[in-house]
Amino acid sequence: MKNKYKALILLFLLISAILSGAYLFLPSYFQSLDNSVRDFYFNFRGPQKTSDSVVIVDIDEESIKELGQWPWERDKFAKILTNLKNGGVGVIGLDIVFSEADKTSPSKFAKEWNIKDTNLPDYDTILSETVADTPTILGYVLDFDKHNKNEGPSIPAIFMQKNLQDKEYLPEAHGVLTNLPTIQKAGYSSGFMNNIPDETGIIRSVPLLIKYDDTLYPSLAFELYRIVTENKKVAVLYGESGIEGIEIGSELIPTDRFGRLYVNFRGPAKSYKYFSAVDILNNNFNKESIEGKIVLIGTSAYGLMDLRSSPMDSVIPGVEIHANVIDNLINQDMLKKPSMGELIDIFLILFIAFIVIFIYSRLSVLWLLLVYSLSLISLLYMNFHLLFQEHIIINTTFPLFSMILSLVGILGVNYMFETRQKEMVKNSFSKKVSKQVMEDLLANPDAANFTSKEVEVSIYFSDIRSFTSISEELKSPKRITDFLNYYMNAMVESVEKHHGTIDKFIGDAIMAYWNAPMNVKNHADEAVKTALEQIAKRDFLNITINKDFGFDVDYGIGINTGDVVVGEIGSHGRSDYTIIGDAVNLASRLEGLCKPYKVRLIISEFTKAKLTESYVIQLLDKVRVKGKDEPVEIYEVISMGEPDEQKQIELSEYYKAHNLYVNAEFEKAKEMFTFLYEKYEKHLYKLYKERCEHLLNENIKEFDGVFDFLTK
């Protein structure tokens, strides 16, 4: 138990260090995830009641359809402002900028056509006079990309900074796009319309103030709120870590360190009262619905490109973002991060990890899952309550990570200690059977799994050539063991790589098979590819073997495919998971045939029939091995892929000679095999040449093409 507590302490320290470090030094990597969780809370909460003090006049699709494409003649827009004033509007905010002259003005046409009629109206003048005569607050755009020297608009209030720090925290613009001078000067005040989305393209917070040319400028929403509350002075309050808030009158608006307000969104698009602009133009509206209210004029038309994304809607008119901000300011329910927010977040990370690791780890699995589930729900509810009841933002993801990682950690520790004894048994048992058999036994402990059954497998035998001589040369048992361990490790690595099962080691020989206990697709190919890989390793292995032991090693491999009995075989006290059957015996014989044919890999006709990939294969012989009555064709697998042109010629010549041999035309066959041996110096051709000579000397008349091996 002492070791377990040490493990739990180490787990607590590890999780605390990882999460605290990530929170402090890699916050940006997790911010988008944290925002996504908070967005989920918004949508789970659903739409809320909006302020009756804010309404929107919408340049919508219906208005554009009736009045024509935007921009309209400015005398029409002036009429909209006049109708709003006559309806008793409190204040009007324009989420629109009139930066260019109205080219549809009759006076502009007259000037262009040299018509001297001074009574023709100028729509820009009409609009500027209307702006001056109505409670209209203009909008403009601050530019963060292009530098220009345009003069910023005048502000009828004092904006100042207190305890200003060396580092600038307010966003700084490089240029400004204002209304036409005649319109801009006519307005009582104005505010910037910029709403800056985060890196995911969603607007979650908005700047209340932006600095341009060493002057502070308010947002349109903030300026409307300042005017409505009749405050003449605004102060930005700085602390050690940045902006602590914006003071307006006796109120302190909480912001982040960059002067941004976290918006408490009321709902998706069209949550506020909307009026179509054409209805206002035609005086087709109830004047009581706008009397004394803040009216924002903007657009929801898709073609005018003033659509944004919020946590509650992927497409929301930009003007409604301003409405949400004003609503938050009026009701003082904007979201805020506490000044000690980072310490609170770190405390939650450590506290949750401590509780889960040191308290929950004492519980049984069922109680652990129950208590953990309740704790998780409580944590989510706490975040939800703080966000929408207290309007406090705390980090949502790191406490969740702390809870999840701590649970995973204690489950891991419990598993490690509870299964240590099982692992010891497993380690002992795995030395007696292959890794694959071990995993199959653990995954399928049912007794039926050990019942013997008939399965088609590919069986592999390999053997070191001249091992007796090698043993005599090495002399020392330790050096023999060291050599075998090095050799066996390399060979077994290839078998396991290709999903084979090691059955046993027989001195210097290895027996393995494919397709048991687990199914192996194309098992004949996997067995052959294993052998070819082992043959390819030979030169590499011999570099170390020659250096350490003073000789080169060579080996032969035999592979056969057939049905065998697989399962637990042995006595009551001692059994082994293995395979038995005639196919096993044939595979063993094939390995032995590598010696007389002086090749490294021989497969049976049954294995060849199961191959699905391309190989360079040469028929060696049709033989009857000791202990079998039926003859079998045997083949050498030379390599993977298709034979090159030279190899195709060689094989073609060989099969012609072999057909002569099978048809008992020994004289002609001898001539061709002599030619082949002289040309290619392959032992197989010499063997057939000598065999033809022997058959000619014996004057064999009846010949079936089968060679009988009388020994193993």
Tell me the C-alpha distance between 127 and 632, whole Å: 104
Tell me the C-alpha distance between 53 and 50, whole Å: 9
> Among 409, 405, 396, which residue's Cα sits nearest to residue 44?
396
Burial (Cβ within 10 Å: 0-12, 13-18, ≥19) of residue 531: buried
- The per-residue pLDDT for 446 is 45
Name the amino acid, one letter, at 625: V
- The per-residue pLDDT for 425 is 40
3-state secondary structure of 515: coil
Give CA 499 to chain center in angstroms: 29
pLDDT band at 177 (very low <50, low <70, confident <90, very high): very high
Mean pLDDT of the chain: 89
Highest mean pLDDT among 16-25, 237-246, 285-294: 285-294
- The per-residue pLDDT for 65 is 93
Kindly tell me if the per-residue pLDDT of 635 is higher than 60: yes
Lowest mean pLDDT: which of 109-123, 170-184, 207-221, 493-507? Answer: 109-123
Provide the percentage of residues in the chain whose pLDDT is more than 70. 93
117 contacts: CB under 8 Å, gap ≥ 6: 110
CA dist 530 to 237, 381, 458, 498, 557, Å?
A: 74, 58, 12, 6, 10
Kindly tell me if the per-residue pLDDT of 447 is higher than 50: no
- The per-residue pLDDT for 116 is 66
Residue 420, φ and ψ in degrees, nearest 5: -60, -45
pLDDT band at 2 (very low <50, low <70, confident <90, very high): low
Whether this prediction's pTM lies above 0.85 is answered by: no
Tell me the C-alpha distance between 16 and 346, whole Å: 9
- The per-residue pLDDT for 295 is 97
Tell me the C-alpha distance between 228 and 221, whole Å: 11
Enumerate the domain spans of the chain.
2-43+343-418, 46-331, 433-642, 643-712
CATH classification for the domain delimited by 433-642, as one of 3.30.70.100, 3.40.50.2000, 3.30.70.1230, 3.40.50.11310: 3.30.70.1230
> Among 378, 372, 373, which residue's Cα sits nearest to residue 355?
372
Tell me the C-alpha distance between 229 and 330, whole Å: 9
Kindly tell me if the per-residue pLDDT of 432 is higher than 60: no
What interhelical angle do 365-388 and 397-418 show, nearest 10?
A: 170
Kindly tell me if the per-residue pLDDT of 421 is higher than 60: no
Helices (H) then strands (E): counts for the chain: 23, 26
pLDDT digits (tens, 9 = 90+) for 381-411: 999 999 999 999 999 899 999 999 998 888 8
At 340, which helix (H) or strand (E)?
Answer: none
- Count other C-beta atoms under 10 Å from residue 1's C-beta: 6
* Residue 111 vs residue 52, higher pLDDT: 52
pLDDT digits (tens, 9 = 90+) for 72-102: 999 999 999 999 999 999 999 999 999 999 8
- The per-residue pLDDT for 575 is 66
- The per-residue pLDDT for 428 is 38
Kindly tell me if the per-residue pLDDT of 187 is higher than 60: yes
pLDDT band at 699 (very low <50, low <70, confident <90, very high): confident
242 contacts: CB under 8 Å, gap ≥ 6: 165, 167, 169, 256, 257, 258
3-state secondary structure of 314: strand
- The per-residue pLDDT for 517 is 82
Contact 278, 62 (CB under 8 A): yes
pLDDT band at 555 (very low <50, low <70, confident <90, very high): very high
- The per-residue pLDDT for 433 is 47
- The per-residue pLDDT for 430 is 58
> Among 49, 55, 128, which residue's Cα sits nearest to residue 91?
55
* Residue 118 vs residue 556, higher pLDDT: 556
What interhelical angle do 666-680 and 683-698 show, nearest 10?
A: 160
H helices within 419-551, ranges in order?
A: 420-430, 435-443, 467-474, 477-497, 523-549
pLDDT digits (tens, 9 = 90+) for 253-279: 999 989 999 999 999 999 999 999 999
State both tokens at 157.
């209030």
Contact 384, 396 (CB under 8 A): no
- The per-residue pLDDT for 424 is 47
pLDDT digits (tens, 9 = 90+) for 471-494: 988 889 999 999 999 999 999 999
pLDDT digits (tens, 9 = 90+) for 516-554: 888 899 999 999 999 999 999 999 999 999 999 989 999
Q: Look at the alpha carbons of 351, 352, 358, 359 in this order and tell me if their dihedral is positive or negative.
A: positive
Kindly tell me if the per-residue pLDDT of 160 is higher than 70: yes
Lowest mean pLDDT: which of 35-44, 158-167, 601-610, 662-671? Answer: 158-167
- The per-residue pLDDT for 422 is 56
- The per-residue pLDDT for 237 is 94
> Among 152, 316, 329, which residue's Cα sits nearest to residue 229?
329
pLDDT band at 670 (very low <50, low <70, confident <90, very high): very high
Provide the percentage of residues in the chain whose pLDDT is more than 90. 66
- The per-residue pLDDT for 419 is 65
**Beta bridge pairs of residue 217:** 210
pLDDT band at 168 (very low <50, low <70, confident <90, very high): confident
Q: Tell me the residue ranges of DSSP E strands in 179-287.
A: 189-192, 205-207, 209-212, 215-218, 233-239, 242-248, 251-253, 260-262, 273-276
